[in-house]
Structure 1
């Protein structure tokens, strides 16, 4: 069965909210790290999201794929750019990355409608 990425993101967000409440120091540290890493510098935000998506595919993290795909869509990523990123992830990760790139494509289709 295909993953419902919208539902997955909703479920994960709920649990992350619980973690923010229950372990605020850890989650605050993670949020600070995320903000620092995402801040545009020598690389723009879209390029950083491409890197994050490639790592998400390589690590086989469906929630990460969903959140970084959503970010890329919000940043104006085209389907062609997205697919080229998937191609690089497949090249670097072989067969397993191909399977998760297919999941990322499914996520793109669900979130960009």
Structure 2
């Protein structure tokens, strides 16, 4: 993985950790969003793993690199295999075409990063 990509992922993680309390204190919708996120990704008829894989596909199609990094990590932590992540990328590419294929490369770099 290229050093600039690793730096980009590390910066995204650091930004998320370092700015979380600032968002919580100053943005009135942020805590409500976190509650929504908690409910949306809780175990239900669909497992957390499957929800994270869906979110990964959506993140790729919407071209959100911080979201891609986060949902790769969360899917990995929820037990998703590399093969499941690859199939998720296949679905994203089918739904999003060429741009999704380009952003899928970032997903593979994030997978390598979080495997360390």
Quote the Cα distance in structure 2 between the aligned partners of 1:3 and 1:12: 15
Quote the Cα distance in structure 1 between the aligned partners of 2:43 and 2:70: 18
| Corresponding residue to 1:19 among 23, 31, 35 | 23
Structure 1-normalised TM-score?
0.91
Q: Is the 2:60–2:92 contact (alpha carbons within 8 Å) kept by the matching residues of 1?
A: yes
Q: Structure 2: 5+ residue runs without aligned partners?
A: none
The reply on whether 1:7 has 2:20 as its aligned counterpart is no
The reply on whether 1:41 has 2:55 as its aligned counterpart is no
CA RMSD of aligned residues (A): 1.3
Quote the Cα distance in structure 2 between the aligned partners of 1:88 and 1:31: 27
Structure 2 match to 1:55:
58
Query: For structure 1, which segment, 60-69 or 10-19, has the greater mean C-alpha deviation from structure 2 after superposition?
Result: 10-19
Equivalent positions of 1:66-77 (< 5 A) are 66-77=69-80
Q: Structure 1: 5+ residue runs without aligned partners?
A: none
Structure 2-normalised TM-score?
0.89
Quote the Cα distance in structure 1 between the aligned partners of 2:67 and 2:17: 12
Quote the Cα distance in structure 2 between the aligned partners of 1:39 and 1:85: 20
User: 1:3 deviation in Å?
Assistant: 5.1
Structure 1 residue ranges, 4+ long, deviating more than 2 angstroms after superposition = 1-4
